[in-house]
Homo-oligomer: A and B are copies of this chain.
């Protein structure tokens, strides 16, 4: 560590003004105990000397940090990028700082991150769990320390707290039905997890649509990608190769969309003539793919904003506790040319 410049302290201000430290401290925080006169004097000096309080000293004293921890599986995904935007927006408005952590879809990493949060580093946390996460002991441990947690998007139903999500079940049902209406008699469901809340709900919606439309569910229509991109791609190719006319694909996450396009190109299959495609996606370029991709677009910014607002509220209001509730911000099915008009 290198030597830092010796900063101004409250003590120096106090001496300068002939006031006590506590008076300065209160004046700076605009306490009602302090007269307007001295507040003005203090503020004038603060301005003049460019005094900036040490946040860590103040955290230590007040036992709160004005920072929230955000835990994400990844950032290179339109959904999460937009969600961060929403979170940051609320944080900035309310004077909160945001510490960001990536679990990289890994449970152990996520555990380690939450463990650190037990230190009091953050006042509250916003989390979208890793795809590997199936237990919630690490979350429980944090909640036991009275750190408020709000889930967004990828939630854990078993944990008793607020969850901001979109209408996954309904969106997937609608999307599937859309494919069926457009003539698909067999629909592949692409995913990358069996356990993630969002995937389970989307799968359930998919199944419901099949049921409602007299199509039978078959395990071999469910394609679950793993960590070996190459292997997954070959599997996808194989599936598509054997596919006859009337096949549709529902990709349950954004990152699965491009491989589908790739495979169709490689196999010389035409979208939507040979295969119709819908994907959950927040990517701007969906509209410019060839052909334009029909998507289920999630209100990512809104979800981030709502989650952060709720957390901040829980942090600031003495008489407001996070309830065990789901707040649902609906997605939109945007029909484009990858499904028949």
Residues of A within 8 A of B (CB): 1-5, 7, 50, 52-57, 59-60, 62-65, 67, 74-78, 81-82, 84-85, 88, 92, 97-102, 109, 115-116, 118-121, 123, 144-146, 258, 261-262, 283-291, 315, 318
Contact of A78 among B60, B76, B289 (CB under 8 A): B76
What residues of chain B lie closer than 8 Å to A85, measured between beta carbons? 74-76, 102
- The complex is assembled from copies of this chain, and their number is 2
Asked whether, in the complex, the Cβ of A75 is within 8 Å of the Cβ of B75, the reply is: yes
CA distance A100 to B304 in the complex (A): 15
Contact A5 B258 (CB under 8 A): no
Complex: how many Å from CA A145 to CA B262? 52
* Other A-B pairs, 7, CB within 8 Å; known A1-B315, A85-B102, A92-B109: A1-B64, A4-B64, A52-B119, A56-B56, A56-B120, A75-B85, A88-B102
A97 B121 Cβ-Cβ under 8 A = yes
Contact (Cβ within 8 A) A4 B121: no
Partner of A288, one of B102, B109, B144, B258: B258
Chain B residue at minimum C-beta to C-beta distance from A141: B50
Given contacts A121-B55, A261-B288, A146 and B3 within 8 Å (CB-CB)? yes
Q: B57–A60 contact, CB under 8 A?
A: yes
Contact A60 B54 (CB under 8 A): yes
B contact residues around A120 at 8 Å (CB): 4, 7, 54-56
9 A–B contacts from the bound complex (CB under 8 Å) = A4-B63, A5-B144, A50-B118, A52-B115, A54-B60, A56-B65, A57-B60, A88-B100, A258-B288
Q: Which of B81, B119, B121, B318 contacts A76 (CB 8 A)?
A: B81
